[in-house]
Amino acid sequence: MSRRSDIASRIAFASLVATIAWGAFAFGAVYPWAYWPLAAAATAIFALTPPAPLALSPVTTALTLVASGIALQLTPLDLEKIAEWSPETMRALRQLDLAVAAGAVTRHPLSIDPSRTALGLALFMSNALLIVASTRLFSTRGTRTFVGALTIAGVLLALVGIVQQPLWNGKIYGFWRSIDPGESYGPFVNKNHFAGWMLMALPLTLGLVCGRIARGFATVKPTWRDRLLWLSSSDANRLILLAFAAAVMALALMLTMSRSGISALALSLTITGAVVVHRQRGARRGALIAYFILLVLLAAGWTGVDVIAARFSAANWDEINGRRGAWADATDMARRFPLFGSGFNTYGVASVLYQRHDLAYHYNEAHNDYLQLAAEGGALVAVPTGIAVVCFVLLVRRRFAEETSISTYWLRVGAVAGLAAIAFQETVEFSLQMPGNAALFAAVCGIAIHRTPERKRSPQWRTAHDAARLG
């Protein structure tokens, strides 16, 4: 790498950390003054990042297909064609667009609200660029430094939530009043979105903990004396700090009392714990399992097991806590717009016409991002999205097979656990619609699919890894 490329890479790396922090602390970047700088920063990071020799073409091609599908929703078509190809779109446009209803125009995009779809496309493209950029950065500079910085941001974010909770005056940071102040937590307008951010960041911190324990125990003689002596080393002190940081982040997530967040955290810990049981042996396995149990006991005990149990028992599970009606409406919209969708990012507009349940409230979101994508995108967007997911999973699997670093292996496990947790939460929430959360999601994807830099590769790990694979 040339000196100029190295400087650009360093700037891009620092900018990535700053961008993720901005997305979290600026109220999840839900406001235009926050998400437009976020999108601009993501584009700038992509421009600064030197190209890396990566086999990303299937993923980038699939992401391009998704963006192309959204762009097609913005392409003006003759109203006669729209009526032929998507009759429901014409019925909606006659109710929403005065020019169409009056016969003053002959062409219109497939989206029922082109301005909202254009916004959604711009934010989607910025996050797609961030996935590619972060993958390139981590493939040249590694991931440990970034995850360390992310852990610091996560602890600060957790402390904001923990300290603000007993001092809550209805205003975020003590001065910013959100539309739904009762649902806020930390700097996030909605507690579930705070939980969504933590669900992606916490498993990465746990990946650092697992990696340090695996490396530490591998370099210490298997005697209690040597292990106790190792506990006084600088590596062990860093490990203790990381373990404490993870506990603080887990506690903050628990204190949100977000049922979806707590359930997804349980899934994340189960995935990571299963890998620990499968990959580790002896004292390393025992230490990690003991730490995971202690982490859960501390977080749940401090919050109150009875409080958590009461929170879950208070939910109306027959109606999936009020979401059944919203899901039925989203399913109905998906049936009405099967091929081209109502338009990316238009669910809140379409629900004005098609909401049939819980009419005391207007649902801007379906509280299930998969159903919402089907309603907004139809097959035009949903099919390439499915292809992108399959390509991504296959690439992650390949990266695990190629792995050559103990530390990177565990960070990759953390990334996968975080992605699985947020994917689970999205069945009942819409955390990834928060631009700040989407930016973190892009970086976590980069960790999952990046290629370990050559300087991080270890012959000892390669031998141990091959032995483990061969049984």
Task: Provide the whole-model pTM.
Answer: 0.93
Q: Is 29 left (phi over 0), alpha (psi -120 to 50) or beta?
A: left
Residue 462: predicted pLDDT: 46
* 8-state DSSP, 78: E
Residue 381: predicted pLDDT: 98
301 within some domain: yes
Q: How many residues does the chain have?
A: 471
User: How far, in Å, CA of 351 to CA of 371, rounded?
Assistant: 13
250 within some domain: yes
94 within some domain: no
417 within some domain: yes
414 within some domain: yes
Residue 293: predicted pLDDT: 94
* 8-state DSSP, 234: H
Residue 53: predicted pLDDT: 59
**Cβ(249)–Cβ(261) below 8 Å:** no
Q: Which residue has the tokens 């324990």?
A: 213
> Tokens representing 248?
């603080």
> Residue 388's domain spans which residues?
3-74+109-470
Give the count of domains, the chain: 1
**Cβ(342)–Cβ(350) below 8 Å:** yes
Residue 469: predicted pLDDT: 37
Residue 228: predicted pLDDT: 65
How does strand 107-108 pair with strand 77-78? antiparallel
**Cβ(142)–Cβ(412) below 8 Å:** no
379 within some domain: yes
360 within some domain: yes
Which residue ranges of the chain lie beneath pLDDT 50? 457-471
